[in-house]
Amino acid sequence: MKRHIFGLAALVLAVSAGGASAQTMSFADAGALIAKSCGASIERFCARDDIGTGKVASCLQGHQKDVPQQCFAALQQAEAGTTARLAAQQATFGLCQDDARQFCKGVKPGDANLLDCLLASYKVVKGACRQGLTDAGWAN
């Protein structure tokens, strides 16, 4: 199956399943999970649908009795994980304000300068900031 990760990421965003406290997941990992769990069903039932429009998710729902349940579980896991990742990215700089003032004096936000500084200071930033950077997918 040769599908682009961007198309699979769009499929993830088109699926609505909610899960606020999920582990975060990159779009690449979400795409790989969907490809592994749903790839055969997508090829069999939905190959003509544009993967980035939500039509594939609707198509899979339309063939629910023929699509393995693990596919739908993977779609939900991918959606929850990527939603959590995006939420963590939006929240991280708020969590890291004090650390940025302490460890990144003189660094002006823009062009990822502040993020670079926070990542360079990763081992000494407070727990909430460190966790935010990790959950956002910016640190290991």
Residue 23 sits at φ, ψ, to 5 deg, of -65, 150
Spatial separation of the C-alpha atoms in residues 121 and 39, rounded to whole Å: 41
Residues 98, 92: Cα–Cα separation, whole Å: 12
Longest distance between any two alpha carbons in the chain, whole Å:
59
- For 111-132, write each residue's pLDDT tens digit: 789 999 999 999 999 999 999 9
Three-state SS at 22:
coil
What pTM value is reported for the model? 0.76
Burial class (CB in 10 A: 0-12, 13-18, 19+), 118: buried
Contacts of 138 (CB under 8 A, 6+ apart): 89, 92, 115, 119
Amino acid making up residue 126: K
Helix locations, the chain, DSSP H: 5-14, 27-45, 55-62, 69-95, 97-103, 113-120, 127-135
Q: What percent of the chain has pLDDT over 70?
A: 84
Per-residue pLDDT reduced to its tens digit, 12-43: 444 433 334 469 999 999 999 999 999 999 99
